[in-house]
Structure 1
Amino acid sequence: MSEERLAALEARLLRVEDELAITRLIASYGPLVDAGAAAEVAEMWTEDGEYDVEGWHMRDRGQVRAMVESTAHQSLIAAGSAHFLGPAAVIVDGDTATAVCESLLVRHRDGEFFVWRAGANHFELARTPAGWRIVRRVTRVLDGSDTARRLLAEPWTSGNITSERK
């Protein structure tokens, strides 16, 4: 195998490994947040990472942790909830990445489960010494608004999709 082919293969493998790591990171949010694992959820973000979900804009890891520890969140999980994210569409560009996915928040009440919220999620991520971390997550309710739909379409409409195919 030529050096050029080997280098190309290594680059492709690294991209696949990066996409898998990011997919796992995003998929771990639901189980961790439903378990109330505040420290582990906070560690998913960079130290100054942001989480912007309607009505709540967290501007660092500490605020993400406080959200999980909040009375509102603890009441939600004590009553029974399941946060489902994904599958995520991931585009890696060197040491940064973009990912989008939809999410469902399922709640339990009176012995039954119902979808309480459907969301559009847009992630900006960075490779750190500790692995991939969320720099910014924006979540908007999927209520038919242009804002939510744009969050989901952005990687393809911004031209970023071409970097994935190289």
Structure 2
Amino acid sequence: MNGRATLPACARIAAIDPAMADRMWNTVSDQDGRDLIDGRMRGKGRMLCAACPMRLDCISRALVGGWKDKAVYGGLDYASRWALARLIARDLHVDAAGLHRIPQSRIHDWLAANPDWDERMRRAGRDYWRSVKRRQRSRREYTHDEPLFLKTEPVPKGLVQGSLF
């Protein structure tokens, strides 16, 4: 049997075409040095990750490693990994910042024991950002004279309002 057949899809693609692997799971840089994300290829990479048998290992390694970058590990970007880390930390009764001190095997076991972790992570992330927005809105002071969406700043000269269609 070929040893290459046991490698996950991401490793096989990286061995054949590293540029394609970067577009699927990482970022590429343009001539100006800006990071670019290829959304179509990133979606294909996430689909491969969803079917990968090594996905839980990859995610648990990324959570313990604490990678704060734009790359995708186990089909999760940084924001998703952060939401999952908060969820796991809450269930394991540890601080989310201290999740890197937990053995990778314990995080892997938690992921395996909770097959609905993906939906729970999405729900927890959505609820978190809703609470952040609520806090921001409650801190903002509004006056009754000024509508919430209008600014009282003057319009710059030369600005023409037009129609898109």
Fold shared per TM-score above 0.5: no
| TM band (smaller chain) | under 0.3
Structure with a larger share of its residues in strand = 1
TM-score, structure 1 as length reference: 0.27
Between the two structures, name the one with larger relative contact order (CA 8 Å, sep ≥ 6). Answer: 1
